[in-house]
Structure 1
Amino acid sequence: MNLTIQEVLNRAFLFLQQHHREPKVAEILLLHHLQYSKVQLLMELRSPIPQAVYQAFQADLKHHVETGIPVQHLTGVEQFYGRTFAVNEHVLIPRPETEELVQYVLGEVKQRSQPLSVLDVGTGSGVIAITLKLEMPSLTIEAGDISADALAVARLNAKALKADITFRESNFLEEWLNQGKQFDLIVSNPPYISWSQQDHLIDTVKDFDPDLALFADQDGLAAYQQIISNAPKLLAKQGCLAFEIGDQQGEHVKALVKNTFPKSDVVIIKDLNGKDRIVFAKKCV
């Protein structure tokens, strides 16, 4: 069988649709196995596909359909803010909503002239900390995660992308509480899904993303409570907090911030889909 790349793609699209999977997975996997750029793929659509590539591609495609394993776990990478990050089963796969958090934070910190220090809590693959540092090199950034395996991925990404960040293994803010350090901004995309919602998640998420990065007690608010309650010990004067949130959590997280920082200026920002996605607090101290 001497199929062209276009024919293989067409068959894969149909196969994925028939099994209620995202058709775009076909192109991502094929680019990975061919080691092509998108432009190369378009130029070679009429070319025959090498047999070894076809067999490896088919095996991954079937594995994805049968198990729900994320395509990012098969390729080992995901794109975030125009850069390629390594990912695996130990970290949350970066989402577009988190790019919106980073974009909003950058807009805020660029309004302040002096060099700023940032703490990224629950860094996972390091996408927030690394992107902030690369987009704004004057920032001094530290980042932590409770998972040593996640930190290994974050360090790998920071080294590959040449981002100077200090990483620490820490349960939320614990490692910094007794160091006397202060930060101008604490940012976090913490676990925020309630355990009661576990069965409602698609298999590509609930069966493969680490529970540590997904779920939190107290209806998904426990991580925010932990971070916010300890933030007064770490935030510098005029310090800020920035969180990614679940789309039903805006007012709850805002109330947690206001209870700890009554004079703060707190806003809830919607994502591109019109859902509450970011809570940002200024002038907390």
Structure 2
Amino acid sequence: MTATRGEAPGEAWTIRRVLAWAVDDLKKRGFSSARLDAELLLCHVLRIDRIKLLVDAERPLDKAELARYRELFLRRRSGEPIAYLLGVREFYGRPFRVDRRVLVPRPDTETLVEVALARTRHLDLAARVLDLCTGSGCVAISLARERPTTCVLGLDLSPDAATVARENVVRLGATNCAIGVSDLFSALEGRSAVFDLITANPPYIPEAEIDTLMVDVRGFEPRLALSGGADGLVILRRIAEEAPRHLAPGGVLAVEVMAGQAPDVSALFAAQGFSAIEIQKDLGGHERIVSGVWGQSPARPGGAPIEETVWAGKP
């Protein structure tokens, strides 16, 4: 940060001046959320809320604060998601810890939580829930907190993502939620665990389209959480095919999909025998969630209840 034309070199870098400089710079580079980004970063550095930015607009920053703000600002200018810089992203009314090990939770994914809750209102209080591709744990933990008498298990292929999710379980007091590492259902094979609800926000972007995404997505978020294979349906296809072995009769499967994929995923559900298949739109009006009911009882070995088979082992 250097003095601009018409400003004295020794002029203090106040909150007002820092924000004016940062917003102007981001706008020139095409950032649509320039002011919000600049303010959130400064609030993070100063540990104050946005109201205080207005109240204390003439407060000068010290050298350490300026250095920290400049570091974060330059990272944002390079495209790094604001959520990674702040280390937190709000989802379903709760602050989730996030970093480059996990996908940034999106508002559209809150629709998955809403659909899951709406379609399982009839279940008893001790319902069993499985969240695949759990990432930061935002869906699993939201369901656990909204339904505190349920037992929720979140699984992710990435050990790093599972670590972040476990931290969020502790941070947010989701004592009825466990997190494990698994390639979809693989950790459950050979166990008698069945679920009343299975949710998933899996990788669904076609591989060839990833390099066309915004830089803050393609350059920073984990590719493992983005790529759905050649047609974007590789993981969704597996989930639809394998879920019936792990659903109780009348259990619900609900998945998030890319805009335009809902008809194909609905067909996958129907081919596997799901009924009452529904498609819900997200906040932007895109078909985002596909859900269905498993009405048949597939052959399953007998055994201990889910609490003993899954929670005790903490896969």
Higher helix share: 1
1:120 matched to which residue of 2?
A: 131
1:4 matched to which residue of 2?
A: 14
CA displacement, residues 220-267 of structure 1 (integer Å, 9 cap, x when unaligned):
0011111111111100010101111100100011000000015x1101
Following TM superposition, by how much is the alpha carbon of 1:283 offset from its aligned partner in structure 2, in angstroms?
A: 4.2
Q: Name the Cα RMSD after superposition.
A: 1.5
What is the identity, as a one-letter code, of the residue corresponding to 1:107? A
The aligned runs of 1:9-48 (5 Å cut-off) are 9-21=19-31, 22-23=33-34, 24-48=36-60
What is the identity, as a one-letter code, of the residue corresponding to 2:276? D
2:154 matched to which residue of 1?
A: 143
Distance between the aligned counterparts of 2:230 and 2:237, measured in 1?
9
Max Rg structure: 2
Distance between the aligned counterparts of 1:53 and 1:78, measured in 2?
22
**Alignment counterpart, residue 207 of structure 2, candidates 195, 199, 210:** 195
The aligned runs of 1:155-174 (5 Å cut-off) are 155-164=166-175, 165-174=177-186
**Contact 2:119/2:252 (8 A) holds in 1:** no
**Contact 1:177/1:233 (8 A) holds in 2:** no
**Contact 1:240/1:284 (8 A) holds in 2:** no
Structure 1, gaps ≥5 residues long: none
**Contact 1:93/1:209 (8 A) holds in 2:** yes
**Alignment counterpart, residue 216 of structure 2, candidates 184, 191, 204:** 204
Distance between the aligned counterparts of 2:198 and 2:138, measured in 1?
15
What is the identity, as a one-letter code, of the residue corresponding to 2:151? T
1:87 matched to which residue of 2?
A: 98
Distance between the aligned counterparts of 1:237 and 1:255, measured in 2?
20
2:193 matched to which residue of 1?
A: 181
- TM-score normalised by structure 1 residue count: 0.95
Number of matched residues?
283
Q: Secondary structure at the match of 1:215?
A: coil
Following TM superposition, by how much is the alpha carbon of 1:82 offset from its aligned partner in structure 2, in angstroms?
A: 1.7
1:132 matched to which residue of 2?
A: 143
Following TM superposition, by how much is the alpha carbon of 1:114 offset from its aligned partner in structure 2, in angstroms?
A: 4.0
2:264 matched to which residue of 1?
A: 252
What is the identity, as a one-letter code, of the residue corresponding to 1:57? Y
1:153 matched to which residue of 2?
A: 164
Distance between the aligned counterparts of 2:249 and 2:193, measured in 1?
12
- TM-score normalised by structure 2 residue count: 0.86
Distance between the aligned counterparts of 2:162 and 2:102, measured in 1?
9
Structure 2, gaps ≥5 residues long: 1-10, 297-315
Distance between the aligned counterparts of 2:283 and 2:83, measured in 1?
23
